[in-house]
Chains A and B, each alone.
Chain A
Amino acid sequence: MTSSTDLRSLFIPLTAADREQAERLARLQVTVEEATQVYRNALAVLATAQYLKMLDIDSDLEASYSFNPAVQLVADMADLYIPEVRRRIECRSVHPGEDSVYVPEEVWEDRLGFVIVQVKDDGTRADLLGFVPEVSVEQLSLSYLHPLDGLVDVIEDAPTLVTILSNWLRGKVSEAWRTLTEIAQPSANKWSPAFRHRSLPQNNELAQQIGRHYSERHRVSLEGEGLRQRIQQLYSEQSGSASEKAAHPLMAQIVRGEKEISESETIEALVHLVQNTLDVKIQIKAAELLWMLAPEHPATGAWRILDQGLKLEGYPLALMVAVLPRRDGRLLVLARTYSLESSYLPIGTTLSGLDEAGNDFFAVQSRRQDNYIQYYFVGDYKDSFSLQMSIGASKLAENFQL
């Protein structure tokens, strides 16, 4: 039997399209030396992406620093982003015949591993020589390389990520979680055909789904008298005394129908509702209305979609999570599941929340013609939970901390 230690390198021929893609990136450099280095490293990244594709491990060039020309101007990075584990591997090129490889100190941290790729000078072939899990010298001897198949263990054993939702409110969001604006406005979201490893149809589908949902809601909610009525309704649905409700003079005027309200006053009214109501349903609805009017307004909280090509039983799904601060110092969380394939979720799609002990604290299931399923709840800072989407026996879970 062949043990892992018998492994030699893995040869991958590079196509003209690979070279063109790398060259386009490299031309946006300042010197021939830098351009050549960027070119060779880009080929190393593409060869590694090709290898991962064989292993059915998705990679995302667009999310990789290595394929971002602006980043390449100010940093020397040759990373490949792996959405499955939301981590990066560094892919460094080496010339044939060299016995060590240059790995700049700026990429030593936060990498799942370092794949070393011998790139032929004419750019026609790459040989994946092996990998190392970590680097602490700038000139790494190739004798330290581990057999390539060990990279599988590194990726499979990558620690489960926990998304800290309170960080979102401070603007610290992992790139896997995309804003609704990014998703719902396809014009601001031009996917490059050059980035072949990106799941293009899913992103378009996601954009359509989210865009459709919001445009329908927008039409119903915001046209004509609709908006005033929605605000009046939200306001009157609040529990509490009339004096509490009328605490904001503008709100009182809107409720009594005394005033034509401008857009800025509408926003002000909604912000007041979002920030002051303790009714979770009203807070969510007001925040969603506010988002439609002013998506960047800080009072909307953070609304994000995990764009990871999640699939259950072959059905592509997206998970949306929103987090909003509350007047009582707690946090409101909204979880929502969309289908990416059609307007409706597959019947029986379940979205559930699990506490730290793994016990369900909610579970909602889709019926016929449900566009999405959702649940919202309030928690305290540092609370941990998981959101799980399931169809039949297939499950996908994401871990969170407030």
Chain B
Amino acid sequence: MLDILANSVSLSIPPNFMCLATIQNQLHELIEQFHTADRRQQRKLVTQILSLAQQSDEFWQGISIDAEPYAEAYQAVMISLPRQLSHFDPSKVTFVHWLNCLLVEETLARSPKIWRGGGNTDPAIYAEAKQIAMNEILNKFEQYNPQQGSVTNWFNFILKKRILDVTKDWGGKGGREVPFNEDYGEEHCTHQFEQLTSESDKIKIDLPKSSNITPDISLTRNLINRVRKWAEDKHSELRQCCLRDRSEVNCYTLILMRLPRLIERQGEFEFSDVPNWKMIATELNVPESTVRCHFKDKCIDHLKQAFPASSYA
């Protein structure tokens, strides 16, 4: 996407630089329009703003490393974006950086892997260091390199360093007890970050590999049986819901025709193939569109009312 935009500008300017600048300018224009637009226009503009921000190389997509906390954070930020836009000040920071900061804050707030202080850190020192680390990571987020690990681990690395700083600082000034031994220095932190980085790679293993889903046949069979029993119980009502002058084309018949049937084949049970609409139309000798419309307009609603989605909770 960036290349396409770059093709339209002078070759004497570095393509990526121009591209980012173009995106930033466009974003700031759109945001300015957003503030004075009516509701319909705002809905369109916020779509354009988010879509355009995502085209920037700077936009943080933490989906593969920070995975779950990132996905949850992103959805939360997305919903609040129209309201949050009023807090964005283009004179202070670029929009993409501002958006990344929202995502980072929300991701870290949701991350279960945030270092909690190891049980021996003074809570006041921990809170102070955490705030400093958060500000630091937000200020220099453009330096974040996903190749080196997750944002959570990067934050933990900085947090531990700042705990040392605050501990030393407070210990010197106020005589507070120092919770860490003196060996816990910069070198140890670096080593720790590397360890965490390698651990973060393992997190990826938890992600699903493919979307192939295996049905739970016993559940499916149970549902089919319930639908079939309901259809039998309500057969007179369902039969009355028929095509004019064609009483045999009714909801009872159509629902049962479309319902998979368990059959025994060579000693094993399996579901039969369900006839498609063309086959059903041929069998009932009605136009395919007519039978399909009747099913959609009448039968589906019967089924939906009898088996509300909430009943599967």
Contacts and interface: CB of A to CB of B under 8 A. Distances in A.
Nearest to A70: B307
Interface string B204-219: 0001111111111101
B309 A54 contact: no
Contact of A189 (B45, B50, B223, B310): B310
Contacts of A28: 215-216, 219-220, 223, 312
A149 B48 contact: yes
A24 B216 CA distance: 9
Interface string B297-310: 00111011011111
B11 interface: no
B75 interface: yes
Query: What size tier do the contact residues of chain B reach?
Result: 35 or more
A30 B300 contact: no
A214 interface: no
A122 B210 contact: yes
Query: What size tier do the contact residues of chain A reach?
Result: 35 or more
Contacts of A69: 223, 307, 309, 312
Given A36-B213, A73-B224, A65 B304 contact: yes
Contacts of A141: none
Contacts of A35: 213-215
Contacts of A2: 26, 29-30, 48, 52
B79 interface: yes
A30 B310 contact: no
Q: Which of B74, B211, B224 has the most CB of A within 10 A?
A: B211
B180 to A, nearest CB: 35
B176 to A, nearest CB: 41
A293 interface: no
B70 interface: yes
A67 B309 contact: yes
B42 to A, nearest CB: 9
A30 B269 CA distance: 12
A344 interface: no
A68 B309 contact: yes
B43 A55 contact: yes
A192 B29 contact: no
A15 B313 contact: no
Nearest to B50: A10
B307 A13 contact: no
A32 B271 contact: no
A99 interface: no
Interface string A61-99: 110110111110111000000000000000000000000
A55 B259 contact: no
Given A26-B215, A74-B300, 8 more contacts: A11-B61, A28-B312, A51-B78, A55-B47, A125-B63, A148-B47, A152-B44, A194-B313
